[in-house]
Amino acid sequence: MMSDAREKKNQGISRRGVLRAAAALAAAPVLLGGLSGMATAAEGKTVSSRGVGKKSALDLPLLTQKRTLGGGKFSMRVSALGFGVMGANYNRGVSPDRKTMIEVLRQAAEHGVTLFDTAQVYGPLTNEELAGEALAPYKNKVAITTKFGHSIVNGVYQTGKLNSRPDNIRRVAEESLKRLKVDAIELFYQHRFDPEVPIEDVAGTVKDLIREGKVKRFGLCEVGPETIRRAHAEQPVTAVQSEYHLMWREPEKDVLPVLEELGIGFVPYSPLNRGFLGGDMTAYTRFDSGNDNRNTLPRFTPEALGKNLMFVEVLNRFGRPRGITGAQAALGWLLRKDWIVPIPGTTKLAHLEENIRAASLAVRPEEWKELEEALARLEIVGDRYPAEQQRQVQRS
């Protein structure tokens, strides 16, 4: 991705500038609920890198908040914020060198992130390999989740084709275990619903893998309420993963009520709308690196980017008086429910710091309502997926 955003101030103040200002406010009371002194740990402390990772230039905060996904014997205790690994080397433009990206992942683990999300199709295969190498020193200390369900033949993704047949699920599990360097997959998601395979057969296959000790928990991605109920009846579902953020609230209609009813956790991916809500894009941003799927998405055309920037401005206006960035406001809004664990990804330690601090916001419910009302007055330009990809998302 090529962008001039890092060279500009965003409407008078940059994301990093807000963070510096917030740090300066740490010793003073924060008006209107804002941050509780930018506290990031139980005692409001930060910690330097330790153990495996090298010491970073930033004094990264420690993420101490925990949440539980799912219930009963298949529940999963994880950090309040996870880490989406996909963008480390897939679909998000020019990536840092492997050594740098491994350091970012290890710094996340060093500073309290315990949930890391990847998938077989990312790369394909190479994202799992990166996660496995980076997080090997943290075996049994962090949870790496992965996914099956796309058709991959000899390492090549068969565009648009799905495969959740039991034999393929088993094959993917065996191969993912090796790439991730783990003894059991902590949470194994069906990446997309396969209309050719009954969901009971999918859930039953994962149930068998759980009995065999190769998988610990079962998850689903981008599915409707009826599929969730049928799968959960066969094998309890720990979490459902779907896109969800302030510019895509579709799950609220039918999915979130079912999850709350059944005690299933929710893991929003792209919680910052693929980076857009972080404020680093303009109408002139281009996604032409050859490794960025945003150039195929209707919401990331120059016209849509320009018109949708009002969402970023509203977030910034909300955040500035409270000493927080627009990205932190977007993440904080998601964290209102304690069974939701967003998985923002990043290739930069500065953004990792920003994300971790979002777990400690102290914004009142009426303030979140104020933000929602301001955003509701805006029109979203562009669909989130082109028609072919949208067909793979199960509707309610």
- Residues marked active site are found at 122
The answer to whether 133 and 101 have CB atoms below 8 angstroms apart is no
* β-strands 187-190, 143-148 pairing: parallel
The answer to whether 70 and 263 have CB atoms below 8 angstroms apart is yes
From residue 188, give the alpha-carbon distance in Å to each of 154, 177, 180, 207, 307: 21, 11, 12, 11, 38
Residue 28's nearest CA partner among 236, 322, 314 is 322
13 CB contacts (<8 Å, ≥6 apart)? Answer: 21, 316, 320
Helix (H) or strand (E) holding 150: strand 150-153
Helix (H) or strand (E) holding 229: helix 225-234
CA distance 132 to 109: 13
What is the dihedral angle through the alpha carbons of 211, 213, 214, 217, rounded to the nearest 10 degrees?
Answer: 70
CA distance 47 to 56: 11
HSE-up (13 A, CA, CB side) for residue 364: 7
CA distance 41 to 385: 38
User: For the chain, how big is the Rg over CA atoms in Å?
Assistant: 20
Report the interhelical angle of 302-319 vs 326-334 (nearest 10°).
Answer: 80
The residue with tokens 């994202």 is 127
